[in-house]
Amino acid sequence: MTQNPTALHDLSLTELASQLRNRQVSAVEAAQHFLARTKAHPTLGAYVALNEDATLAQAQAADARIAAGTAGPLAGVPIAHKDIFVTKEFPSTAGSKMLAGYQSPFDATVVSKLAEAGAVTLGKLNCDEFAMGSANENSAIAPLGFDAPAPVRNPWDTSRIPGGSSGASAVAVAARLVAATTGTDTGGSIRQPAALTGIAGIKPTYGRVSRWGVVAFASSLDQAGVFARSVDDCALFLQTIAGHDEKDSTSANVAVPDWTAIVDAGVKGMRIGIPKEYRIKGLRAEVEASWEQGIKWLREAGAEIVDITLPHTQYALPAYYILAPAECSSNLARYDGVRYGHRAANPENLLDMYERTRAEGFGQEVKARIMVGTYVLSAGYYDAYYIKAQKLRRLIYNDFVNAFEHCDAILTPATPSAAFAIGEKTDDPVEMYLEDVFTVSANIAGVPGMSVPAGLSPDGLPLGLQILGKHWDEASVFKVARAIELAANFTAKPEGI
Ligand code: GLN
């Protein structure tokens, strides 16, 4: 009998993988442990679907592979997916009534890559409808244990939001319901919830991870990535899902490094850029203090701190809120009642079916964005809005290219504040959109970005720091994130879970 004083849910992804490989615990035991823990904590509203038979069958197969010596790097490790990755064994809803109960005939590439690596899928995690939101209050799907849709709750204070749109992916990891989860990030949906729940999350370079089987929001910005409690775990998890996929022509044929081998290389001699434009008006004192602390930590770890400029930063948010709706209005045209999901009952004719299907199937935020997107793409307004936003996109991209001539990575706050109360920003979309002020630029430029826990606010809520890197240089992002992780020594956990 092996001595194992640490509960399975307190282990990191890396530790869990090693215990499974060494047969200190079986994949079936691990799956049962996490399923039981998930069912014991329904109030957070994180999961929208379980399929215990499928999970246990995957775990048995993993145990067989471990016994046969053919196990992949994540053999038997329980993980869970944002419900925007389509899965054969679980329904796939993207948080929308439009897709409620939708059963995909295939797995997303990310899902099949993790299955090949031996990971065991516990279930699907709630998200804002079609990944539109910053608070995970916009899902139309009832979480497990609920009769109606409900906001996902932050385990640090359940009256607060966890961030969005991959809020539940962050909550499940922060509450130790699972060691690592997948997410997507179009304007900050991995980095912002990671920051607000005290965990690590990375959006890699645009094109690094296949989006085959990821329900599309804004295709020139959408990128898949991961959440875990440590930088190491993010490196291990991301390298399992990264790489070219011939089914996604936007996934690039760029070699995937062994990031786990370089995470600990240190930051000595690295140049870290501090962009002056991120000192926005009204920056909260605790956010500024945490940024200053991060700068100090990196300097003490041997990095050189350099002032840089990203002069078009103020245009990133307005450009994003034109480009993302424009692309969503086009992507979401496919939900017409014919091909997928919801169809209005007893239509009088084709037009009536289209109109009522879309009126019934989409939630308010999605409708608002489709309307804004259709407007900015319409003849007469195209040049004034869409083309102008595309031009800004090029300028923002150039800002990063120029800045990276002077530094190897950039350090900024991840969010303008700690987690806010459920409902606090629901009635004011602009306030909600301002949540993304530090994160959208990375999507616009396509560069990798990561959020790492930096400490607690005076209210005892987690704050994160964001590291941005050059295209394809997740390695530097991981190194800097690891240096902050070591210095921050963030061991706090949400209470009562
Ligand atoms: N909060 C942003 C939005 O609502 C980003 C969402 C995302 O990254 N998926 O569009």
Q: Which residues lie with the beta carbon below 6 Å from any ligand 1 atom? A: 131-134, 165, 185-189, 217, 324, 436
Over range 215-241, report the average pLDDT: 98
Over range 473-479, report the average pLDDT: 98
CA of 190 from ligand 1 middle (Å) equals 9
pLDDT digit string, tens, across residues 84-93: 999 999 999 9
User: Can you give the pLDDT at residue 340?
Assistant: 85
Identity of the amino acid at 28? V
pLDDT digit string, tens, across residues 89-108: 999 999 999 999 999 999 99
Residue 5 has pLDDT above 60, yes or no: no
Residue 13 has pLDDT above 90, yes or no: yes
Residue 4 has pLDDT above 80, yes or no: no
pLDDT above 90: percentage of residues in the chain:
96
The closest residue, in CA terms, to atom 10 on ligand 1 is 132
pLDDT digit string, tens, across residues 263-304: 999 999 999 999 999 999 888 999 999 999 999 999 999 999
State how far the Cα of 418 lies from the Cα of 491, in Å rounded to an integer.
17
pLDDT digit string, tens, across residues 361-376: 999 999 999 999 999 9
Active site residue 281: no
User: pTM for the whole thing?
Assistant: 0.97
Residue 74 has pLDDT above 60, yes or no: yes
Tell me which of 26, 92, 189, 476 is the catalytic residue.
189
What is the atom index within ligand 1 of the atom nearest the CA of 189?
8
User: Can you give the pLDDT at residue 244?
Assistant: 98
pLDDT digit string, tens, across residues 60-71: 999 999 999 999
Q: Which of 83, 128, 372, 425 to mutate to test the pocket of ligand 1 (most atoms within 8 A of CB)?
A: 128
What is the atom index within ligand 1 of the atom nearest the CA of 432?
1
Q: Which of 189, 217, 441 to mutate to test the pocket of ligand 1 (most atoms within 8 A of CB)?
A: 189
CA of 133 from ligand 1 middle (Å) equals 5
User: Can you give the pLDDT at residue 281?
Assistant: 87
Is 126:45 a contact under the CB 8 Å cutoff?
Answer: yes
Handedness of CA 495, 235, 436, 280 (dihedral sign): positive
Active site residue 82: yes
CA of 183 from ligand 1 middle (Å) equals 12
User: Can you give the pLDDT at residue 444?
Assistant: 98
CA of 11 from ligand 1 middle (Å) equals 30
CA distances from 131 to 138, 139, 308, 470 (A): 9, 9, 32, 25
User: Can you give the pLDDT at residue 1?
Assistant: 41
User: Can you give the pLDDT at residue 42?
Assistant: 95
pLDDT range class, residue 3, cuts 50, 70, 90: very low
CA of 264 from ligand 1 middle (Å) equals 31
Tell me which of 139, 165, 169, 210 is the catalytic residue.
165
pLDDT digit string, tens, across residues 152-176: 999 999 999 999 999 999 999 999 9
Tell me which of 82, 97, 203, 479 is the catalytic residue.
82
pLDDT digit string, tens, across residues 337-346: 998 899 999 9
Average pLDDT value for the chain: 97
Residue 389 has pLDDT above 80, yes or no: yes
Residue 475 has pLDDT above 70, yes or no: yes
Residue 316 has pLDDT above 80, yes or no: yes
pLDDT above 70: percentage of residues in the chain:
99
CA of 152 from ligand 1 middle (Å) equals 16
Over range 417-421, report the average pLDDT: 97
Is 124:92 a contact under the CB 8 Å cutoff?
Answer: yes
Active site residue 247: no
